[in-house]
Amino acid sequence: MTTSARRAQIAYGLALAVVVVDQIIKSWVVTRLAPDLGLTLPVWGPLRLTLVENSGISYGFFQSGGGWSRWVLAAFSLVVSIGLAIWAQRAEKSVIAVAIGLIMGGALGNMIDRVARGSVVDFIDVQALHFPWVFNVADSAITVGIIVLLAEGMFVSKTGHA
């Protein structure tokens, strides 16, 4: 197996892990909190679980109210994921493959919600830390993946260290 094929496998495996973890946790949260949309359960310190249905994009931006935008956002997630899958096959560094896997898994996890529910299930609430949005595992994976890509592009690539 070539090095690029191994990197692609890293990306695909990580994407699958993100989707599985995201969907399992969302299922548990919906089952536990569904009767009380908006109910907040303290978890630890500033961390709370608050069930929110998000018809917009990550962190609740661009709320759409459902309808045709649900399908546009789902299709966009699918197109992005396909592009990332192709990129993963050409990734020159393992760190890039990891970032791609995180972003791809997050996009697919939220796409599954849009198709199955009409909106994305958000539940991680750290508003006590003055972070105004409720989010989920998929959003977190996308954010971390983007940060890794930016950091690699800004710092690692410039210094030649990886």
Residues annotated as catalytic are 122, 139
Residue 28 identity (one-letter amino acid)? W
- In one-letter notation, the amino acid at residue 14 is L
Beta strands in 16-140 (DSSP E): 40-44, 47-54, 120-125, 134-135
Cα-to-chain-centroid distance, residue 108: 8
CA angle 102, 104, 109 (to 5 degrees): 95
